[in-house]
Amino acid sequence: MKIQRGQASTEYLVIVGFVLIILIPVIIIYFKYSGGTSDIIESTKTTQLANELVKAANEVFSFGEGSQKKITISFPSGLTGLTFNGKEIVFTFVDSKGNANEFVEVADVNFAPTQVSITPGQKEVIIKSIRDSDTSTAYAAVFIACPNGNTRTGSAEECTVLCSPNRPAGCTLTCSNSAWVC
């Protein structure tokens, strides 16, 4: 019995069709769940980052005014914002679907109200214990480490926290011991 060329081609197309019918849903399911897995990993990294910051802030605060600690942390790629307010650290991150989410961690100490601009990757972070000279309120201030001797103009938040509450925006900040001071 002789198989004709047209019959072999048809059988080949049927086999390829069955393989595609099975393979396409598997690929769709894979991509659907792999995005969720990367979100879980980023969330776990953010939780670890929060715990490191809280631990360091509690430590320098217990040592008293003027003490500081430098830690090296790795900011995850989805992290877009880091805000300190009261005893809260608020992490803003974007998930694999493009949705903005917030993660909040609470510390035992008050943080200086600041927003840290971040980029993904490993950074040196300075946590410093400071006291407001006008109100005698103690804070833990968080900075991305700076090159010693550099100067820059501070934001309104930074001038209020680092210099004095009556200081307007535009104060001059100098980097001393890897942290910004007034």
Per-residue pLDDT of the chain (182 residues; tens, 9 = 90+): 555 666 767 888 889 888 889 888 888 888 777 666 777 778 788 888 888 888 988 888 888 888 888 888 888 887 888 888 888 888 888 877 788 888 888 888 888 777 777 778 888 888 888 876 666 677 788 877 777 778 888 777 777 766 665 666 678 888 877 777 77
CA-nearest of 72, 88, 80 to 42 is 80
Find out whether 54 and 105 touch, Cβ atoms under 8 Å.
Answer: yes
Rounded Cα distance, 123 and 180, in Å: 16
Q: Per the domain annotation, does 72 fall within a domain?
A: yes
Number of domains in the chain: 1
Q: Per the domain annotation, does 88 fall within a domain?
A: yes
Q: Per the domain annotation, does 49 fall within a domain?
A: yes
CA-nearest of 136, 150, 139 to 178 is 150
- Helix/strand/coil for 164: coil
Q: Per the domain annotation, does 48 fall within a domain?
A: yes
**Domain interval for residue 125:** 42-145
Rounded Cα distance, 130 and 177, in Å: 14
